[in-house]
Amino acid sequence: MQTQVMFYQLPEVTEPSEQSSNEADDNSDTIERFSSAYQACLQASYFYRQGQKVYIFCDEQQSAETIDELLWAFDSDSFVPHNLVGEGPKQGSAVEIGWQAPKGRKSVLINLSNTVPIFAQQFNFVVDFVPSDAALKQLARERFKTCRQWGFQVDTQAIAQ
């Protein structure tokens, strides 16, 4: 089966230079909602509810721990069972977060890395993000190109603001 990849284009969120503190708080909430980390939590929650096993891949341990903390506080009405790799149940939970190749089979990879991990080919579905920042957008273009070269079925979708 061919791996499918969806690149979600994050909207550009500008920070006005002069604003009231309430507007600044509202704007930081908007920025957070459209960050890759927040969107990764949304996607993990969605796929968990679809009965899929998810692996969230980060570049380093600190990023993985940040995602872990976000998922703990994500939505009190709809807890997503998750753990960092090496913690939790022996067979892992529905959503695992790590910075190295996963152990065991998962169907969905949420990639928060700057590259496409070589193990991406073992997943049925890969989620990636295209931030609005120019340098990060260029890295996303490189990941997109890599996915195409590897023969993945690649699509893009804009996240509505």
CATH architecture of the domain with residue range 4-11+25-158: 3-Layer(aba) Sandwich (3.40)
- State the chain's mean pLDDT as an integer: 85
Half-sphere exposure of 53 (CA within 13 A, CB side): 13
In this predicted model, which residue has the larger pLDDT, 115 or 29? 115
Residues of the chain with pLDDT > 70, as a percent, come to 84
Is 40's pLDDT higher than 50? yes
What is the Cα–Cα distance from 122 to 125, expressed in whole angstroms?
9
* pLDDT, average across residues 110-118: 96
The angle subtended at Cα 53 by Cα 125 and Cα 101, nearest 5°, is 75
